[in-house]
């Protein structure tokens, strides 16, 4: 199953909005075929693993898969039907699929046909791998990542007096931010930040797709704004809940929120986030725009590497 999870990671981001899934076929204790979910609308992991194996071997093999096989007709036929067609006698699954069209139906179909099904192998690791997919289907909102850079004395910007924003991030951390952008389907900033900073919100410093750009604002940006040239979506909302509802209705499974301070604070105060990625620069500003306030007693913290990136996530049950 660990190999299945490794395979699943190879599916992202091409597979989205489908989950990352890895599968393999074991015959007489040896892996004889493996696969992972292809680009959206193409073959699922189970299909890729099964394709290269003769039927007579499949009837004596075990299929391992990191997520419950689908049992509905979507872009592709049900994987559960393929498993039954090939006569695979045993299937080992990490966890069930939370999507309402699956959620136990794949397991039930296999068991009803006499297939031995084992569930719960590395289940927590499998759910964590597809945290975006699970959050979207179980909480009915996108997986929310808040990201900001702040000075060593707790400011995200200095006093501009008409000038440009103070550079806090290093080139290395800026490249990492662009990597993060490439990993999420959407990015969000507030209207004030968009107008003041003139951000492009795209991916330039690494290879990867640019996210869909969203502006939380009561009015459109000027036609001369960089985002007006490249394209953006405006969300007019009175609350964080309305913003997340709008993104959910548009099928956005995860969003990287890049500010500004007021937008971040609203997400923090409302506990409407799953991660905070807080970059601490070496610059000292003394005065300026204060970084969002965090309730440290309700967050767990993990420091990462030499970039001094601190990750926060809500403690379970809070």
Q: Which residues are catalytic?
A: 46
Residue 1 neighbours by CB distance under 10 Å: 18
Task: Return the bridge partners of 302, or none.
Answer: 311
Helix residue ranges, H only, 98-239: 105-112, 123-129, 131-139, 171-183, 191-197, 226-230
Count how many Cα atoms sit within 13 Å of the Cα of residue 75 in the half-sphere of its side chain: 12
Rg, Å, the chain Cα set: 22
Distance of CA 226 to the CA centre of its chain: 26
Phi/psi at 69 (5° precision): -60, 140
Burial of residue 292 (number of CB atoms within 10 Å: 0-12, 13-18, 19+) = buried
3-state secondary structure of 144: strand
């Amino acid at each position: 199953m660990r190999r299945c999870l490794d395979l699943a990671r190879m599916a992202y981001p091409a597979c989205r909005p489908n989950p990352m899934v890895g599968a393999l076929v074991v015959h007489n204790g040896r892996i004889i075929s493996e696969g992972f979910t292809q680009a959206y609308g193409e073959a699922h992991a189970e299909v890729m693993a099964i394709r290269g194996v003769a039927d007579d071997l499949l009837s004596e093999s075990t299929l391992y898969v990191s997520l419950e096989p689908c049992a509905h007709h979507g872009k592709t036929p049900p994987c559960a039907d393929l498993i039954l067609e090939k006569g695979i006698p045993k299937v080992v699954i990490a966890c069930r699929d939370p999507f309402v069209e699956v959620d136990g139906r794949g397991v039930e179909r296999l068991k009803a046909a006499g297939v031995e099904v084992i569930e719960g192998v590395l289940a927590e690791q499998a759910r964590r791998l597809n945290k975006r997919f699970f959050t979207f289907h179980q909480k009915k909102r996108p997986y929310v990542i808040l990201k900001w850079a702040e000075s060593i004395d707790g400011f995200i910007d200095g006093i501009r007096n008409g000038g440009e924003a103070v550079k806090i991030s290093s080139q290395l951390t800026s490249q990492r931010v662009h990597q993060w952008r490439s990993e999420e389907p959407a990015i969000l900033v507030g209207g004030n930040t968009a107008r003041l900073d003139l951000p492009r919100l795209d991916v330039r410093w690494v290879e990867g797709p640019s996210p869909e750009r969203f502006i939380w604002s009561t009015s459109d940006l000027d036609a001369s704004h960089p985002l007006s040239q490249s394209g953006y979506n405006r969300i007019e909302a009175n609350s964080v809940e309305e913003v997340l509802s709008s993104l959910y209705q548009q099928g956005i499974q995860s969003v990287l929120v890049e500010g500004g301070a007021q937008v971040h604070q609203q997400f923090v105060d409302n506990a409407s986030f799953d991660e905070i990625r807080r970059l601490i620069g070496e610059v000292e500003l003394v005065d300026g725009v204060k970084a969002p306030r965090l309730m440290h007693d309700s967050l767990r913290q993990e420091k990462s590497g030499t970039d001094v990136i601190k990750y926060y996530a809500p403690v379970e049950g809070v």
